A and B are shown apart, each in its own frame.
Chain A
């Protein structure tokens, strides 16, 4: 509620600044909304959205499929943790965007580069949080499972991963937010497809209403994804309250 109120204040401020016509870069908020309503049903937007969502989905799927097992291995196998710990920690805070031009040179210009960018943006924080979760998993739960004859597989599926679920979900949420950044930056730097292409078109033609409308749409998408995961997190926290 409070957030909504502060949003209203900010949008009002935006509207006022826009109406004063300081600069064509800041159109009034109402004009941006109008442009947004105009863009949304167009085929051009649908195409861009589908390409972008596909890159995001593929990149995130890769990040989950590699990040989670890697985090588990780092927590459970001493050698792996020592070998990769430093690198994951560096890359989790490194400016990944700087790598995109290198990716372009290696992989070429296209959707694959964007997928890899999303993957690189998302994977490290997922790996790191998974590692933390598994490392801090209750040792006595592990002992309990072993005392009742758990197989290795059961130990992971019925104790370790569930025990680390709050941390893993937190990592996935942060990873997803970074992943959205990855799509936009990837597509902007590669500059020919999806939402990135739209951004490029709008800013080259000084279509500032459309430009800001697109920014809002991307923000809203990132917010929605993050809130959906946060909802899962809260449900998990409830059951893990006694940890």
Chain B
């Protein structure tokens, strides 16, 4: 277990109770999904794990140690990309390293490597405004990879990416993350996306968010992406999750 969430509670200043006593474990090297209806507290939970917003109770443990703020072992991929509009792709991807004081030459080198890995070679000197949504999110992903964090936190990274690009991106993402053996916590509200990507799916109930069930899709990952999408285990998982979530809608 690399990340553990114990009894985490969150009530916003506005009085909205977003999370109530959430207990969850995220196994090392696996991709875990937080899945639930819109507004159930998925982003809130992810940002608490990232140390970006304070919690009202409970603990977040990373490798057994309680964390209270952001740390170098966790990197975040944002739903709205959060790219610096005045910086080109190269500088955006290397921004995490820049903040850590890594020399220009060294960080550019590392950034170039990950730009190539996410499939953006040749776009180093473009600005975010010149890129499509899918490409911008690839920049966001590359930035998270360059800082060499073990844990990648992703908040609905594909929600502003169009459908065709999304599939390809999902496949690339699986390859990349498996290759780098990252522990991934992934937020989505798409059942298919969760079933396709995840080793473990935590279903959250509507507000206040609680864990209502943990599903482990029995999907054979050695198959090709198209085979997986026709796989029994994949389809059963989608059905099972839908059976649980339908009572919330």
Contacts and interface: CB of A to CB of B under 8 A. Distances in A.
Among B74, B84, B95, max chain A CB count under 10 A is at: B84
Contacts of A143: 47, 52, 76, 78, 82
B86 A240 contact: yes
Contacts of B76: 143-144, 147-148
Given A154-B99, A242-B128, A147 B84 contact: no
Interface string A212-243: 00000000000000000000000010011111
A140 B95 contact: no
A140 B53 CA distance: 12
Contacts of B72: 149
B82 A140 contact: yes
Interface in B78-125: 78, 80, 82-86, 95-96, 98-100
A147 B76 CA distance: 7
Contacts of B96: 148-149
B86 A144 contact: no
Q: How many of chain A's residues touch chain B, expressed as a range? A: 20 to 34
Interface string B126-158: 011100000000000001000100000000000
Contacts of A162: 84, 86
Interface in A138-173: 138, 140-141, 143-151, 154, 158-159, 162, 165
A75 B29 CA distance: 42
Contacts of B86: 162, 165, 236, 239-240
Q: Is the interface of B mostly helix, strand, loop or mixed?
A: loop
A141 B140 CA distance: 12
B75 interface: yes
Among B51, B74, B95, max chain A CB count under 10 A is at: B95
Contacts of A146: 52, 70
Among B51, B99, B129, max chain A CB count under 10 A is at: B99
Contact of B82 (A141, A154, A239): A141
A155 to B, nearest CB: 9
B50 interface: yes
A145 B99 contact: yes
A149 B95 CA distance: 11
B45 to A, nearest CB: 15
B82 A148 contact: no
Given A148-B143, A150-B99, A239-B86, 17 more contacts: A140-B82, A141-B82, A143-B76, A143-B82, A144-B78, A145-B99, A147-B50, A147-B75, A148-B75, A148-B96, A148-B99, A149-B70, A149-B96, A154-B99, A158-B99, A236-B86, A241-B127
**10 tightest A-B CB contacts, nearest first:** A242-B129, A144-B82, A239-B86, A148-B96, A242-B85, A147-B76, A140-B82, A241-B129, A147-B70, A150-B99
Interface of B: 47, 50-52, 70-72, 74-76, 78, 80, 82-86, 95-96, 98-100, 127-129, 143, 147
